């Protein structure tokens, strides 16, 4: 049976699409993870069996999601199939026998589990059920007729890296020159060692010995000087490449649509930063070091062969055995590293839970329960660390034994040659020096191949980001872009759903938001109010229908210019770790501070008293590294930010929900003056926020069910009346 194709997942939540990629490859078709990810409607919470089934069906693979018992899985289930692992992961079961279940785990590799161990992972948290979930897959004719959607070749994925290296060719040439010079200096040392022993000591000439030793000292000083310059050049090169790569990476992700971030875990994005640093390190220091090692191996290996072919052969065979021994443990160490990482992550989460949940723990007297939970994690982590230590000791002791045995055999052979007069004592000393110089490059090469695997995975992850369509790219696809003009906002048969999901979040919305008027949207939580706002702000792309601003399709309007005319307060708005003034003036980062506008924004949002009470006033730092703020204070800061922008369009999403009654009344009164001449859209639950709007829109389950003024909607006693009757105390 041919080896089952394995691919490693790029993101934490990519296990499902990656499993599907492996199965498609098993049947002879190449599909990129990006393509399958889109078809499976993945979110930051991962993907479901339904999403995987839809993706598989879209490429011509029939699917059946079933719960089957272990015996049927082992004996009867069509393989390969996808199994749900530990209630949080997907793996491919590709082979079974009477002892093992063979699994392709996209986060680790190809594994085999004893039957009992497999059932522990597959049936975990299933109330000791005898059946577990699997997705059966079988390709049909359509699958074989499709051409597939293969991934880019590695050189295509990595080609964007070349322009970071190209500007520094001069430094690379200097480093290469230093490499050659350092190697040539090293090349002289075995001959000077031989000369000291054979000629200096042999002829009892102290003056000759002193001259050779002085020469060695000068060579050592020269080598040290070259290494110092090489280190500075390498640092200079590394810093420049690192800054360029990460700067371009940040510039790229800032141009990506919000939908991209909503499908990624924060950890995945942070991993990309580490990937940049890993690639920079691989491109600069690791690659140059391995180049140095290869040159050293070739030159000193050639010299060793000229001294004694038999000794060179012994060294070559021992080196092959040494490398084979080390490589033998790579897969096992990778599996243990994954398990250690998994348990370490659980340990960190447990500690954070203890710290953040200490109040609830004390109130519920659950100290013992939570402590035992943490101790259980510690025991699992301890077992993994013990396995890792044991494996590391076996690998290290075996490698040291092979290395020492090689050295002993070479010494014996060299000593025999000296005794029999085939080589001199000086030659033997030179051989010992050469063997010592050859050991380090071998270890360096082994490390290089491991780093190359990591770098390859990092390049794939980064290539995925650089291949993503930015908002600018999407605009270019739509043709000519225009600047936004003042006018009504009109939604025509507008519908929206996430990815290719079946449930519509917004369904056939027809709405006109008049210029210069205040429109309010109300409705129960989950009715689609915030989603509608995000469509207007071009944070999401409409699925069906269209949105028009001043009778221009919003897709044709320049995104940055459109958002530049919009002041927005989102219900999950963010306060930066920066000063009060810079937080309020976020929209004018490149402009001089307008003190009058800042003063007006602070006055309208009732922040004057708060800012005066802060230790450094407007220059007080907020956020993670500064003064913490209450929910109401954050909302006032966000309102001030929107007001400072002085926009043509103002969008407020639950902007006053955390304010006390007095603050809300004062701020709404001041905002009513600020609204004049502006197109305003308010999303809120409170009657006090929406009752004075020129138009009130009522939404339910993604559709508009009512529209009118406060008085009109109260009189009809429909959805709006039901929503606010308790606030109005109208009873029946």
How many CB atoms lie under 10 A from the CB of residue 109?
14
Domain CATH for 105: 3.90.70.10
Q: Is the peptide bond before 552 cis (omega within 30 degrees of 0)?
A: no
Label residue 480 by pLDDT band (50, 70, 90): low
Boundary-marking domain end, from 646, 676, 695: 646
Q: Are residues 283 and 431 in the same domain?
A: yes
Using alpha carbons, select from 554, 590, 379, 559 the residue that is nearest to residue 473: 559
Tell which of 468, 485, 519 closes a domain: 468
Q: Is residue 184 part of a domain?
A: yes
Structural tokens at position 9 = 């997942």
Q: Which residues touch 115 (CB under 8 Å, ≥6 apart)?
A: 70, 74, 99, 100, 101
Please name the residue that has the structure tokens 């259980």: 376
Q: What percent of the chain has pLDDT over 70?
A: 93
How many helices (H) and strands (E) in the chain?
A: 29, 16
pLDDT band at 224 (very low <50, low <70, confident <90, very high): confident
- Radius of gyration, alpha carbons of the chain: 34
At which residue do the structure tokens 């048969």 appear? Answer: 493
pLDDT given for residue 44 in this prediction: 67
Could you give phi then psi for residue 439, rounded to 5 degrees?
A: -65, -45
**140 within domain boundaries:** yes
- In the structure, what pLDDT confidence band is assigned to residue 293 with cuts at 50, 70 and 90? confident
Which residues make beta-bridge pairs with 65? 135
Give the whole-angstrom CA distance, residue 181 versus residue 223.
8
The pTM score is: 0.72
Where do we find the tokens 């007297």?
365
Tokens of 134: 């699997």
Neighbours of 432 (CB within 10 A): 16
pLDDT at 432: 81
CATH number at residue 582: 3.40.50.300
pLDDT, position 152: 61
Q: Are residues 31 and 131 in the same domain?
A: yes
Report the distance separating Cα 590 and Cα 260, nearest Å. 27
According to the model, what pLDDT value does residue 153 have?
58
Q: Which two structure tokens, joined as six digits, stand for 210?
A: 């002193």
Contact assessment for residue 48 and residue 33, using Cβ atoms and an 8 Å cutoff = no
pLDDT of residue 509: 93
DSSP bridge pairs for 695: 519
Residue 652, SS3?
A: strand
User: Residue 412: is it exposed, middle or buried by C-beta count within 10 angstroms (0-12/13-18/19+)?
Assistant: exposed
Q: What DSSP designation does 203 have?
A: T
Residues sharing a CB contact under 8 Å with residue 543, sequence separation 6 or more, in sequence order: 495, 496, 497
Residues of the chain with pLDDT > 90, as a percent, come to: 23
> In terms of Cα–Cα distance, which of 417, 430, 438 is closest to 192?
430
Q: Which of 72-76, 99-103, 158-162, 538-542 has the lowest mean pLDDT?
A: 158-162
Residues forming beta bridges with residue 264, ordered by sequence position:
none
Residues 303 and 229 in one domain: yes
Q: Which pLDDT does position 625 carry in this prediction?
A: 65
Is a pLDDT exceeding 70 seen at residue 213? yes
Query: Is 718 a member of any domain?
Result: no
Instruction: Specify the residue for token string 């310059």.
Output: 229
CA distances from 340 to 351, 384, 666 (A): 16, 6, 56
| Residue 299 phi, psi (nearest 5) | -70, -50
Task: List the structure tokens of 349.
Answer: 């989460």
Whether 146 and 230 share a structural domain = no
Q: Is 399 a member of any domain?
A: no
Q: Kindly state whether residue 513 falls inside one of the protein's structural domains.
A: no
Q: What is the average per-residue pLDDT within 253-278?
A: 76
CA-nearest of 7, 148, 27 to 78 is 27
The answer to whether residue 533 sits within a structural domain is no
DSSP state, 615?
Answer: T
Q: Which two tokens stand for residue 470?
A: 């930015």
Higher pLDDT, 117 or 172: 117
Top-confidence residue, 245 or 573: 573
How many CB atoms within 10 Å of residue 210? 11
Q: How far is CA 350 from CA 375, 377, 385, 386, 625, in A?
A: 10, 8, 18, 21, 24
- Token pair listed for 392: 């590391």
pLDDT of residue 173: 80
Instruction: Give the range among 125-134, 187-196, 340-349 with minimum mean pLDDT.
Output: 125-134
Check residue 102 and give left, alpha or beta (phi > 0: left; psi -120 to 50: alpha).
beta
pLDDT tens digit string along 694-719?
999 999 999 999 999 999 998 888 88
For residues 25 and 123, state if they share a domain: yes
**What is the spatial distance between Cα 345 and Cα 343, in angstroms, rounded to a whole number?**
5
Q: Where are the alpha helices (DSSP H) in 149-205?
A: 154-158, 162-165, 169-195
Query: How many domains does the chain contain in total?
Result: 3
The yes-or-no verdict on residue 657 having pLDDT over 90 is: no
- Say which DSSP state 646 is in: -
Residues 223 and 279 in one domain: yes
34 & 145 share domain: yes
> Whose CA is closest to 252, among 220, 219, 276, 280?
276
- The residue range of the domain holding 77 is 15-151
**Which of 94, 118, 151 delimits the end of a domain?**
151
Q: Are residues 247 and 287 in the same domain?
A: yes
**pLDDT of 732:** 45
Banded model confidence at residue 234, pLDDT cuts 50, 70, 90: confident
Q: What pLDDT score was predicted for residue 131?
A: 81
Report which of 44, 45, 43, 51 is spatially closest to residue 19, judged by C-alpha positions: 51
Query: What span, in angstroms and rounded, lies between the C-alpha atoms of 433 and 397?
Result: 23
Tokens 């069910």 correspond to 705
Say yes or no: 262 and 189 in one domain: yes
Average pLDDT, the chain: 84
Looking at the structure, tell me whether residues 92 and 194 fall in a common domain. Answer: no
**Same domain as 88, residue 227:** no
Q: Residue with structure tokens 């793996």?
A: 91
Residue 115: inside a domain: yes
pLDDT at 151: 66
pLDDT of residue 501: 62
Whole-number pLDDT of residue 134:
92
Q: What is the pLDDT of residue 24?
A: 93
- Residue 217: give its domain's CATH number: 1.20.1560.10
463 vs 458: CA distance, rounded Å: 8
Q: Is the dihedral of CA 316, 318, 321, 322 positive or negative?
A: negative
- The pLDDT assigned to 281 comes to 75
Q: Per the domain annotation, does 157 fall within a domain? A: yes
Q: How far is CA 42 from CA 3, 8, 64, 134, in A?
A: 29, 17, 19, 19
**In this structure, what DSSP letter does residue 500 have?**
T
pLDDT tens digits, residue range 671-697?
989 999 899 999 988 887 888 899 999
Residues 114 and 179 in one domain: no
Strand order through the sheet with 695-700 = 566-569, 649-653, 679-683, 518-523, 695-700, 703-708
* pLDDT tens column, 603-650: 999 999 899 888 888 889 887 766 778 888 899 999 999 999 999 999
Beta-strand runs (E) in 465-515:
489-496, 506-513
């Amino acid at each position: 049976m041919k080896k089952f194709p394995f691919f490693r997942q790029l993101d934490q939540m990519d296990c499902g699409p990656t499993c599907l990629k492996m199965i498609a490859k098993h049947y002879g078709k190449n599909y990129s993870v990006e393509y399958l990810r889109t078809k499976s409607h993945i979110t930051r919470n991962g993907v479901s069996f339904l999403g995987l089934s839809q993706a598989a069906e879209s490429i011509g693979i029939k699917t059946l999601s079933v719960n089957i018992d272990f015996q049927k899985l082992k004996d009867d289930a069509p393989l390969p199939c996808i199994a749900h692992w530990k209630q949080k992961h997907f793996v491919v079961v590709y082979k079974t026998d009477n002892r093992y279940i063979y699994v392709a785990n996209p986060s680790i590799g190809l594994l085999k589990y004893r039957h009992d161990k497999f059932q522990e992972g597959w049936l975990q948290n299933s109330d000791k059920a005898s059946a577990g979930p699997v997705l059966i897959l079988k390709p049909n004719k359509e699958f074989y007729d499709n051409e597939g959607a293969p991934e880019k070749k590695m050189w295509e994925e990595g080609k964007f890296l070349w322009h970071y290296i190209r500007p520094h060719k001069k430094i690379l040439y200097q480093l290469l020159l230093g490499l050659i010079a350092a190697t040539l200096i090293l090349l002289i040392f075995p001959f000077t060692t031989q000369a000291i022993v054979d000629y200096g000591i042999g002829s009892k000439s102290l003056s000759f010995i002193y001259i050779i030793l002085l020469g060695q000292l000068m060579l050592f000083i020269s080598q040290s000087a070259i290494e110092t310059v090489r280190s500075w050049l390498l640092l200079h090169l590394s810093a420049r490449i690192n800054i360029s790569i990460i700067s371009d990476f940040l510039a790229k992700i800032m141009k990506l649509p919000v939908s991209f971030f909503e499908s990624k875990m924060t950890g995945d994005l942070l991993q990309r930063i580490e990937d940049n640093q890993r690639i920079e390190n691989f491109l600069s220091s690791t690659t140059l070091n391995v180049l140095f090692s290869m040159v050293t191996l070739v030159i000193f290996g050639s010299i060793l062969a000229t001294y004694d072919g038999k000794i060179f052969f012994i060294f070559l065979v021992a080196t092959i055995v040494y490398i084979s021994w080390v490589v033998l443990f790579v897969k096992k160490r990778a599996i243990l590293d994954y398990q250690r990482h998994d348990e370490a992550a659980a340990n960190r989460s447990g500690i954070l839970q203890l710290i953040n949940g200490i109040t609830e723990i004390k109130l519920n007297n659950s100290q013992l329960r939570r402590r035992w939970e943490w101790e259980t994690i510690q025991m699992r982590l301890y077992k993994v660390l013990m396995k890792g230590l044991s494996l590391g000791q076996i690998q290290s002791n075996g490698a040291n034994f092979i290395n020492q045995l090689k050295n002993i055999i070479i010494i014996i052979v060299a000593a025999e040659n000296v005794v029999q007069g085939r080589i001199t004592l000086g030659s033997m000393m030179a051989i010992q020096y050469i063997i010592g110089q050859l050991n380090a490059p071998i270890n360096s090469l082994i490390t290089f191949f491991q780093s190359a695997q990591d770098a390859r995975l990092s390049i794939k992850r980064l290539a995925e980001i650089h291949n993503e369509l930015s908002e600018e790219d999407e605009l270019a696809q739509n043709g000519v872009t225009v600047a936004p003009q003042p006018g009504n906002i009109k939604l025509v048969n507008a519908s929206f759903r996430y990815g290719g999901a079946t449930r519509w979040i917004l369904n056939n919305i027809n709405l006109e938001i008049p210029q210069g008027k205040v429109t309010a949207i109300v409705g129960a939580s989950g009715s689609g109010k915030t989603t509608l706002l995000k469509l207007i702000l071009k944070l999401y792309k409409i699925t069906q229908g269209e949105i028009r601003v001043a009778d221009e399709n919003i897709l044709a309007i320049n995104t940055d210019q459109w958002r530049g005319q919009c002041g927005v307060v989102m219900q999950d708005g963010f306060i930066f770790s920066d000063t009060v003034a810079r937080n309020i003036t976020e929209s004018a980062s490149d402009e001089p501070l307008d003190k009058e506008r800042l003063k007006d924004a602070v006055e309208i949002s009732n922040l004057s008293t708060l800012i005066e009470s802060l230790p450094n006033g407007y220059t007080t730092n907020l956020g993670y590294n500064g003064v913490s703020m209450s929910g109401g204070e954050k909302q006032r800061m966000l309102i001030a930010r929107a007001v400072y922008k002085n926009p043509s369009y103002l969008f407020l999403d639950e902007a006053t929900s955390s304010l006390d009654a007095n603050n809300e009344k004062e701020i709404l009164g001041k905002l009513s003056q600020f609204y004049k001449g502006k197109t305003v859209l308010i999303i809120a639950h409170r009657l006090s926020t929406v009752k004075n709007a020129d138009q009130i829109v009522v939404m339910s389950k993604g559709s508009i069910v009512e529209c009118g003024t406060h008085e009109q909607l109260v009189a009809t006693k429909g959805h709006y009346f039901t929503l606010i009757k308790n606030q109005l105390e109208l009873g029946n």
